[in-house]
């Protein structure tokens, strides 16, 4: 059981890193400090799907860590 949780944690972490890097936003370094003049837009198509998969992977990642603490 513990080994399955460790594998789940590692795989979800690696996939989450990959999906975060796949997300394309036009934010530069200045946007991180509030200097962005970009208007908020809705995610559509593939960008929305990648965003939803990233959230799902984050939930799996946190749940596997919490379960490994309990077990």
The domain ranges of the chain are 1-21+47-71
The better pLDDT of the pair 41, 16 is held by 16
Q: Give the global pTM.
A: 0.75
Give the number of residues written for the chain: 71
Region label for 23, one of left (φ > 0), alpha (ψ between -120 and 50) or beta (otherwise):
beta
Tell me what pLDDT residue 56 has.
Answer: 97
Tell me what pLDDT residue 24 has.
Answer: 75
Cα separation, 64 vs 4, in Å, equals: 9
pLDDT digits (tens, 9 = 90+) for 33-70: 655 556 666 778 888 899 999 999 999 999 999 999 99
Q: Tokens 């939930």 label which residue? A: 59
Q: How far, CA to CA in Å, does 16 sit from each of 22, 41, 62?
A: 10, 23, 12
**Those residues with Cβ within 8 angstroms of residue 2's Cβ, 6 or more apart along the chain or in another chain:** 68, 71
């Amino acid at each position: 059981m513990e080994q399955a949780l460790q594998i789940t944690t590692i795989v979800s972490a690696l996939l989450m890193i990959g999906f975060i890097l796949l997300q394309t936003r036009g934010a530069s370094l200045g946007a991180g400090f509030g200097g962005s003049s970009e208007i908020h837009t809705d995610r559509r198509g593939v960008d929305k799907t990648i965003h939803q998969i990233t959230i799902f992977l984050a939930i799996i990642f946190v749940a596997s860590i919490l379960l490994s603490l309990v077990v």
